[in-house]
Structure 1
Amino acid sequence: MNSEKPNYFDLVYQVVREIPKGRVTSYGTIAHYLGLKSGARMVGYAMNAAHAMPDIPAQRVVNRQGLLTGKNHFGTPTRMQELLEADGVKVENDRVIDFEKIFWDPDKELGL
């Protein structure tokens, strides 16, 4: 391994790959877990770049209120919701239903 700074996008992707089917998390929660100084915005940039990568379930990352704020990066306006529903997540009016109940926190689930 080299001594260069870690690629933050890759770190974000590693966490996102761990989000189980049927669960969601937020941009800010991932940023906090990784200790990213640029916070949720950096995670958002990583997710915007990830939508073309089939091994990264970017649909499972929503805003802190459970809103599908990244939906415009999925090709069609309904694709993010379709992917979430295929995961078993209910969505209504661009908001995850039972957000608190299905919220996945890497601090608790993965620990460090």
Structure 2
Amino acid sequence: MQPFTAEVVRILKEIPEGYVVTYGQVARMAGSPRAARQVVRILHTMSEKHGLPWHRVVNARGEIAVPDEELKELQRMLLQGEDVEFLSDGRVDLSVFE
């Protein structure tokens, strides 16, 4: 596993229940602020294998960014199950997590 990938996996595993971060925040914490898309790839390919809390990561606008409607609804349900609240337009208020 590449060092950046290992660091992303470590960071993702440390996201506490009920907390939301963005792909860009994870990339910055891992040392590559412009690698948000790489974080997406890591989540997509390694979440199951490494037990990553994929549902706690949203895009920079606070939106659930998975294209599949079933997965989008699952992510929303998982977040709501952790008491994450959504705004009326369906976004997470990221200012709550700053």
2 CA distance for matches of 1:90 and 1:12? 25
Sequence identity, in percent? 27
Structure 1 contact 71–79 (Cα < 8 Å) conserved: no
Larger radius of gyration: 1
Whether 1:84 aligns to 2:83 is: no
Letter in 2 for 1:76: L
| 1:29 aligned partner | 25
| 1:56 aligned partner | 52
1 CA distance for matches of 2:56 and 2:66? 10
2 CA distance for matches of 1:9 and 1:82? 27
Instruction: Report Cα offsets for 1:42-66 as digits up to 9, x if no partner.
Output: 0111111244347211111111111
Structure 1 contact 71–80 (Cα < 8 Å) conserved: no
C-alpha RMSD of the superposition: 2.5
Q: Post-superposition shift, 1:95?
A: 1.2
Q: Post-superposition shift, 1:83?
A: 0.9
Letter in 1 for 2:86: V
Letter in 1 for 2:94: F
Residue segments in structure 1 that go unaligned for 5+ positions in a row: 104-112
Q: Which runs of 4+ in 1 moved over 2 A?
A: 50-55, 74-77, 91-94
